Amino acid sequence: MSSGVQPGDAGPGTGGLRRPERRAPAAGREVDEARQTDTPGEAAADGRGEGEPATILVVEDQEPIRALVRETLIDRGYTVLEAADGVEALDVHAALRRPADLVITDVVMPQLTGPQLVALLRAGHPGLRVLYVSGYSERMGIPASEPHELTGFLEKPFGVADLTGKVRAMLGELVDPEA
């Protein structure tokens, strides 16, 4: 059983990647129940119910960074799902009724890199918005073919204001300079 990405035909837009054979369990990760049932009221343009917060999937192998991002986003009213690696992220995302509004992923991770994860997710959801985070130089390891309007980058270390500003920009939210 392999823990790496397998070459092969996984369909258009995946760069020849397919899911790794080994799947990490998503145990302990609860998907917000509101995401799994129909929300009454008029739907937002992105598919969310009226007044429903954006759902963000955070994929980071370093728990302290993942915790900082999670708590920062929860404090700002977002629904946050998390995964410790790309394989777990595939499971968490597959359990959603609709795609996450934003995926925040580290670039360098074990099993699947951020760009490999994104290629697999975008195979089924080409309009998926992604914010890459990395301690390496800007966009190192991120394919140049990434759609500019759907892809952002945040260099580590970053502050709460940097993260919040990037997330709001990626989601197309109005940014209050005093927030």
Residue-range definition of the domain harbouring residue 88: 56-172
Per-residue pLDDT of the chain in tens (179 residues, 90 and over written 9): 333 433 333 433 333 344 443 332 333 333 333 333 233 223 344 555 667 899 999 999 999 999 999 999 999 999 999 999 999 999 999 999 999 999 999 999 999 999 999 999 999 999 999 999 998 866 677 888 888 889 999 999 999 999 999 999 999 985 554 44
Q: Which pLDDT value is given to residue 174?
A: 57
The answer as to whether 44 is a domain residue is: no
The answer as to whether 168 is a domain residue is: yes
Which CATH number fits the domain that encloses residue 152? 3.40.50.2300
The answer as to whether 47 is a domain residue is: no
- The β-bridge partners of 55 are 79
Nearest to 83 by CA among 47, 109, 116: 109
The answer as to whether 36 is a domain residue is: no
- How many domains is the chain partitioned into structurally? 1
Distance, CA of 93 to CA of 124 (rounded, Å): 11
What proportions of the chain, in percent to the nearest 5, are helix, strand and coil? 30, 15, 55
Distance, CA of 144 to CA of 148 (rounded, Å): 9
The answer as to whether 25 is a domain residue is: no
Q: Which pLDDT value is given to residue 136?
A: 81
Distance, CA of 162 to CA of 28 (rounded, Å): 29
The answer as to whether 67 is a domain residue is: yes
Dihedral over Cα of 112, 114, 119, 120: its sign: positive
The answer as to whether 144 is a domain residue is: yes
Q: Which pLDDT value is given to residue 48?
A: 57
**Strand stretches in the chain, DSSP E:** 6-7, 17-18, 55-59, 79-83, 102-106, 130-134, 151-155
The answer as to whether 159 is a domain residue is: yes
